[in-house]
Amino acid sequence: MAYIAAISVLVFAVIATSCAADTDLLQDICVADLASGTKVNGFVCKTNVSATDFFFDGLAKPGLTNTTSGAVVTGANVQKIPGLNTLGVSLARIDYAPGGLNPPHTHPRATEVVFVLEGQLDVGFITTGNVLISKSIKKGEIFVFPKGLVHFQKNNGKEAAAVIAAFNSQLPGTQSLAATLFAATPSVPDNVLTKAFQVGTKEIEKIKSRFAPKK
């Protein structure tokens, strides 16, 4: 019950205290037709609506953290819950192995609020003035990452950690800085990256190779 109550408070806080990142709804519901080929700013509505469109149980269990970064994000957005379409809110669960990192990234369409379920994390975001705002947080505590700013979470503890994240967007989007720059398709030109990072081509090619798809 405490787990459910914590999530409820978190979602309410996002809805009640933040300006909607998505456009206001004009009807009671607009369940996303994810199979439609029609492209709009959001998703077109479908007519055959059921309770399943508003249900998702994917955050109940920890995600597998056997990733390169030692962290995994399980989203609960409009792509998983079609009933979220036009409602301007979504959730995610992030699990971290000891030493696990959710790498520096941004959410271009939403502010994020995290509630720590287990463990402890070092978290932070960087302002457009290049100032790092950081803090260590533990079970039961909350931290806010403002919309569009680069941020990260790192588990420096010896135990696994997990958070529930709430967003004021049905689909906040995620741009991981490293993957965006070094794994884009087509590739970002080497001469752009060498000048930006003040390193040689060999260093850039080495980093790109680390992000190349596994064969």
How far is 111 from 107, CA to CA, in rounded Å? 7
Q: Based on the number of CB atoms within 10 Å of its own CB, is 31 exposed (0-12), middle (13-18) or buried (19 or more)?
A: buried
Phi, psi (5° rounding) for residue 194? Answer: -65, -40
Q: Out of 2-6, 39-43, 121-125, 164-168, pick the least confident.
A: 2-6
- pLDDT level of residue 10 (50, 70, 90 thresholds): low
Six-digit token string for 95 = 């699990």
Six-digit token string for 74 = 């399980």
Contact 122, 136 (CB under 8 A): yes
User: What confidence tens digit (pLDDT) does each residue in 39-50 have?
Assistant: 888 899 999 999
How far is 101 from 103, CA to CA, in rounded Å? 6
Contact 93, 64 (CB under 8 A): no
User: What confidence tens digit (pLDDT) does each residue in 64-108 have?
Assistant: 999 999 999 999 999 999 999 999 999 999 999 999 999 999 999
How far is 137 from 125, CA to CA, in rounded Å? 14
> Looking at 97-184, which runs of residues are DSSP E strands?
101-106, 112-118, 120-126, 132-138, 142-145, 150-154, 161-167, 175-176
Domains of the chain by range and CATH? 2-170 (2.60.120.10), 183-215 (no CATH)
Contact 144, 117 (CB under 8 A): no
pTM score, two decimals?
0.86
